[in-house]
Amino acid sequence: MVSKVPKHIAIILDGNRRYAKKLGLQLWKGHEFGVKKLEQLLEWCIELGIKELTLYSFSTENFKRTKMEKDFLFKIFDREFSNMKHKESIFKNKIRVNVIGRLNMFPKGIRKAILDIMEKTKKHKNFIVNFAMAYGGRQEITDAVNKIIKDIKSNKINSKKINENTITSYLYLKSEPDIVIRPGGEKRMSNFLLWQSCYSELFFTDKLWPEFTKEDLIKCIEEFNKRERRFGT
């Protein structure tokens, strides 16, 4: 067990399709393995004492994928978010489920399932899991700027008093991850939490997301504890 754990971890869920290819399966079927790994991850984080988890689950760019793959993914999203309201672990552990992104891009059924579980868990405070879906970091900042402009025009805020805290308050996600982990071998952020991750410690692994283990998570945390975070000072 690690002696000190970060409060907030973010993970880019990368490598599902390549994992399916390794197994000789249709590429999009790798997402089912990714879902199973995600269930394990929630258990690990709660056991370790992490308080918040943000998951890059489906980007705005992912809408460009084939209709067959999107239909498969949308069925998973609908099923998983609908089933969450019946999962004992969600309520036993007081897990708050939050989804960030342009949810209007999803079909009505998925939006309803998402909003239902967000409403049912909104008062839970032990652990927060944020699913970044129909999400893009640039889009998040763009949406924040447009909201600020709207509020300036309606005299809700003073344009001369806008600062970094003002912008943060208009983002989908207000908290900042201590660690960002990316499985799958790529070494880039791919438009994920561009504002919030400015001081995050970054970890990359060649393991594909379905191959990620509890030991890999602990290794990242142990390495995080060795690093000196100076925040520009």
Active-site residue (options: 14, 16, 98, 130): 14
Angle at which helices 214-226 and 30-48 pack, to 10 degrees?
50
Catalytic residue among 16, 62, 98, 158: 62
Residue 82 CB partners (closer than 8 Å, separation 6+): 113, 116
CB count in 10 Å sphere of residue 221: 21
Please, what sign has the CA dihedral across residues 186, 32, 175, 222? negative
How far is CA 178 from its chain centroid?
13
Residue 225 catalytic? no
CB 54 within 8 A of CB 176: no
Q: Could you confirm whether 71 is annotated as catalytic?
A: no
State the Cα torsion 138-125-202-173 to the nearest 10°.
10
Residues with catalytic roles: 14, 62
